[in-house]
Amino acid sequence: MSNPVLVEVTRGQLVESRHRGMVSVIDADGASVMALGEVTTPVFQRSAVKSMQALALVESGAADAYGFGDKELALACASHSGEPEHMRLAGDMAGRAGLTEADFECGCHWSSHLPVLVDQARAGEMPDQLGNNCSGKHAGFLCLSCHAGVDHHGYVGYDHFVQSTIRGVMADLTGAALGHDNCGTDGCSIPTYAAPLDRIAHGFARMTSGVGLGPERAKAAQRLISACMAEPFYVAGTARACTELMQLAPGRIFAKTGAEGVFCATLPEKGYGIALKCEDGSTRGAEAMVGAVLAKLFVDDQELSQKLTSWTEKRLRNWNKIEVGMIRPAGELA
């Protein structure tokens, strides 16, 4: 089976490039609401499932023990842009467990937000691990480990308490078998697992509806999703898709991207879980797909649906700010 073209990029009056994708939307009862392309093919979940990976932080009592509020929990679920607020908070979270930047194992990179990168360079700074887009998640991992009294060294390893704990939670939530066979290494060095898209979507439907979860897990899931929706800047950053989508409909959309064109979302009021992937791994393709899918799912709310459509159809401008084309939904998402 092949994946359909769901997004096209135009220039002048012609289509210049095309993005194919697969989309699964599952309701609280596990029924399919929308299925486009290869929804049963395993895809690496990457950072789109950070909220699932943060469940143990809440369920274990670590989040309460360290006094984490919405901002901290949002950052634990984030792929942030390495803006100063993100970096400070990640350092602060680790500090509450008595740890420092040197204890992180995610690696360093510059801010992904160009103006911040330029500011950092001008100030003579060098990239550090707090600026890694995953540093909030890693701060959460460190806190989970310390709270459990487990040596945090090597917490990114497949066999470490942290990774085996979150692997169990994710397998439980999605019903997908996760192990060495479908494991890869993520950008920040932790294991990432390939799971069928419809299983991931179902996991998110359960996260947001609580259906089929024990009361503790349902509460933890709701707390994390609410935290992200309450503090969308801490989930991504300035001009980022996750942040903008959650700001567009406060409390009604949870959205989280992952590398290689993955995007997950939930609609709490409908109990839907959404998981999609742009076949070629591009971010612009995945962003247009998630916007178009959300616009379709909110078709009963014309104002919100229109806002989502406007957000999705990005006008492209060149270095002289001349409009040269657009990114727009195509095929079954048009």
Chosen residue from 325, 328, 330, 333 binding a second copy by CB under 8 A: 325
Check residue 220 for interaction with a second copy (CB under 8 A). Answer: no
| Least spacing, CB of residue 137 vs a second copy, in Å | 13
What is the C-alpha to C-alpha distance for residues 218 and 28, in angstroms, rounded to an integer? Answer: 13
| Least spacing, CB of residue 304 vs a second copy, in Å | 29
The helix (H) or strand (E) run that includes residue 141 is: helix 135-147
The helix (H) or strand (E) run that includes residue 287 is: helix 283-297
Check residue 234 for interaction with a second copy (CB under 8 A). Answer: no
Structure token digits, residue 239 = 């001009």
Count, residues near a second copy per rule CB under 8 A? 52
Q: For the beta carbon of residue 25, count every other beta carbon within 10 angstroms.
A: 27
Structure token digits, residue 275 = 């998981």
Chosen residue from 23, 44, 165, 272 binding a second copy by CB under 8 A: 44
Identify whether the C-beta of residue 43 lies closer than 8 Å to the C-beta of residue 52: no
Identify whether the C-beta of residue 201 lies closer than 8 Å to the C-beta of residue 275: yes
Of 72, 90, 61, 54, nearest to 165 by C-alpha is: 54
- Contacts to a second copy from residues 4-33, by CB under 8 A: 9, 11-14, 16-20
Give residues with Cβ within 8 angstroms of 25, minimum separation 6: 32, 33, 34, 35, 201, 272, 273, 274, 293, 297
Chosen residue from 98, 102, 159, 319 binding a second copy by CB under 8 A: 319
Check residue 62 for interaction with a second copy (CB under 8 A). Answer: no
**CB-nearer residue toward a second copy: 188 or 290:** 188
Check residue 132 for interaction with a second copy (CB under 8 A). Answer: yes
Check residue 182 for interaction with a second copy (CB under 8 A). Answer: yes
**CB-nearer residue toward a second copy: 149 or 322:** 322
Report the interface residues with a second copy, using CB under 8 A.
Answer: 2, 9, 11-14, 16-20, 42-44, 105-110, 114, 117-118, 121-122, 124, 132, 181-189, 192, 194, 260-261, 279-282, 285, 318-322, 324-325
